[in-house]
Chains A and B, each alone.
Chain A
Amino acid sequence: MTTAAATADGSTAKAKPASMAQALGRALRDSMSEDPTVHVLGEDVGTLGGVFRITDGLAKEFGDERCTDTPLAEAGILGAAVGMAMYGLRPVVEMQFDAFAYPAFEQLISHVAKMRNRTGGAMPLPITVRVPYGGGIGGVEHHSDSSEAYYMATPGLHVVTPATVGDAYGLLRASIASDDPVVFLEPKRLYWSKSDWSPEAPAAVEPIGRAVVRRPGRSATLITYGPSLPVCMEAAEAAVAEGWDLEVVDLRSLVPFDDETVAASVRRTGRAVVVHESSGFGGPGGEIAARITERCFHHLEAPVLRVAGFDIPYPPPMLERHHLPGVDRVLDAVARLQWEADS
């Protein structure tokens, strides 16, 4: 993680570098320590500590009734979590991999998202569904999907995705504490990214739903989240040489969407590029571009552009670098922002 992002974490100079995976594990541990109703369940979360080791040590510390290895059945895992939440527990479900969460879609869409609404507020479901998502780790097929658009399209769910180590901790704590269900998307290629975040003195827990400006700038705004934040930060640094001073907004939460922070930034800069890994067609970028256009039309110097993954099934790992939006593609988009109209 870049220095700028680390600073945005609110970390201190004394802190030792820690990884996002460690921060997530610490968030689970702290939540479980503070609240005996928090239960972790999923495939491999117990003895193994999760395939990404996020839940490492939890079963040992809290017992296998609080951190439970379940049968391998995603609908069953999430469905059981619904019943547990109905009885007053706060389940945190691990879905292991993005594409493996699909069997649980019906439970998520028909029950998790709707139970509060169906029962007239009588039965909220405080469930956190942790989904490691996205590519860039050389995973074979069904291990690299970016599924955020599916979740965003479902009223009743919060959709959260951290991009920094500090946010991984703070946002997961906030998600578990939320009385509403949260789909917590963990950018798996950032699991091992480190920053000077201190597990001893974790950053403050912020309410979910607030975007943050990671890098202030005046020429254009890059709007992004999760795995694409480091790409955008790098692009912004590289753009300085071209004479562009780019602002980078990290959404952190896709639902609720922080229109205010995004619109304020675009009104300042007059230009915007939305960057994400998931497919462009029907993807989050279209929604975000529309919202910007509705709010900032008279401030815009150029159409809002999108830099996204291609509209293809996630490619085999040896080809994924051609699919994933990288620094060059971001800079190309910035170059297309009708700068000539400005001069």
Chain B
Amino acid sequence: MTVQELPGAAAHRPTPPPAWKPITDPAPLLPDPEPYRVLGTDVVADVDPELLLRLHAELVRGRRYNAQATALTKQGRLAVYPSSTGQEACEVAAALVLEDRDWLFPSYRDTLAAVARGLDPVEALTLLRGDRHTGYDPREHRIAPLCTPLATQLPHAVGLAHAARLKGDDVVALAMVGDGGTSEGDFHEALNFAAVWKAPVVFLVQNNGFAISVPLAKQTAAPSLAHKAVGYGMPGRLVDGNDAAAVHQVLGEAVARARRGEGPTLVEALTYRMEAHTNADDATRYRADSEVEAWRAHDPVQLLERELTDRGLLDDAGIEQAREAAERMAAALRDRMNADPVLEPMDLFTHVYAEQTSQLREQSAALRAELDAEHDHHEHSAEAGR
């Protein structure tokens, strides 16, 4: 068939391809150009003062928790700690916005979110201490294991939320990821699945400016990370990640939307990692002190504290009280982390399969024999030394 023979070709009118149909209006999906803020704006007057005070207490506790955990790395009590100092508003808001029945899917930097959700701080740190991969039962706390590979826990959040909805349960999953994680394939696949399935999921991107040493400009060419949402057909929201009230509000709206069955939301929180990537990293190699100082002036704890004191909701005594509570938490954590964990080498074989394979039975018998021989050797040495 030649072009001339095509129907409608005689009029030389371009016709749309058959599959073309009007697309969804992208405008409601696009984030506002400015990150949403509550503190220091008129909106704050509508926020429950009790919530603000609770956020403040949790931020103070969270700041102290980060400092204590970092100190524990210096004492050799933690193998490594990726600090969330500077990002406490995101951590705390993510935890407080969820109901008990909801699920949290944290990344390796989100220990604090798990603790703010009520997890025992020692149980939250076993991965980083090095005695157990996950120190708690995820089902009991509705907190997925802290995820070390980047963004791979996001599809899990989608699958879990989808399964809950299929079962008729009113459950929302909130999944946390960093700016670097948004480049991973699993991030894109998770967002696409969530939007197609209308799964009750909220994705929280903590954009702290750097993926270890790589700045955002080398990570993405998108106008913002929140803009990525529109490509999947979900709303993107941009929020000041150091404004705990704003993060809580934006996440709260996203959670409510998910619970109503309207599908997922992508929230980008603009924040800053005040410490290095982990205690093993030297941040002075890739960022200027002046940049860190500029962010210090936008500290999440200070922002909220100033708001509360300006409005007469918090005085010096109140601040002192919050600090003392945080200090007690830190002291208890220090004491408990100073005790050596009790390790059972035979546990190596316990949870590989429901039932040990004959291969594992052989290997565990070999280790048992090694341990017994070691034990006998120590007994003999002790006797000889007597």
What is A's interface to B at a CB cutoff of 8 Å?
Answer: 39, 65, 70-71, 73, 75-76, 78-89, 91, 103, 106-107, 110-111, 114-124, 155-156, 158, 178-180, 209, 255-260
Contacts and interface: CB of A to CB of B under 8 A. Distances in A.
A119 B155 contact: no
Interface string B118-139: 0000000000000011100111
A35 to B, nearest CB: 14
B224 interface: no
Given A79-B152, A118-B145, A259 B358 contact: yes
A221 to B, nearest CB: 19
Contact of B359 (A70, A76, A256): A256
A158 B354 CA distance: 11
B82 interface: no
Contacts of A84: 159-160, 162-163
B189 A87 contact: no
A81 B140 CA distance: 20
Contacts of A124: 354
B257 to A, nearest CB: 20
Given A86-B144, A120-B132, 10 more contacts: A79-B156, A81-B159, A88-B167, A114-B133, A116-B351, A117-B133, A120-B351, A155-B352, A178-B354, A179-B354
Given A106-B152, A107-B152, A118-B134, A75 B159 contact: no
B156 A86 contact: yes
Interface size class of chain B, counting residues whose CB lies under 8 Å from the partner chain: 35 or more
Nearest to A118: B133
A71 B155 contact: no
Interface stretch (B23-31, B60-68, B87-95, B190-198): B190-198
A71 B189 contact: yes
Q: Please classify the interface of chain B as helix (H, G, I), strand (E, B), loop, or mixed, using the class held by over half of its residues.
A: helix
B136 to A, nearest CB: 8
Those 7 A-B pairs whose CB atoms lie nearest each other, nearest first = A83-B159, A79-B155, A76-B189, A80-B159, A256-B357, A83-B160, A87-B163
Nearest to A76: B189
B161 interface: yes
B350 interface: yes
B225 to A, nearest CB: 19
A79 B152 CA distance: 7
By CB atoms of chain B within 10 A, which of A80, A85, A106 has the most?
A80
A168 to B, nearest CB: 22
Interface in B315-366: 350-354, 357-359
A65 B359 CA distance: 39
B372 to A, nearest CB: 23
Nearest to A178: B354
19 contacts: A70-B193, A73-B189, A75-B186, A75-B189, A76-B158, A83-B162, A84-B159, A84-B163, A86-B144, A89-B166, A116-B352, A118-B145, A119-B137, A123-B139, A124-B354, A255-B357, A256-B358, A259-B359, A260-B358
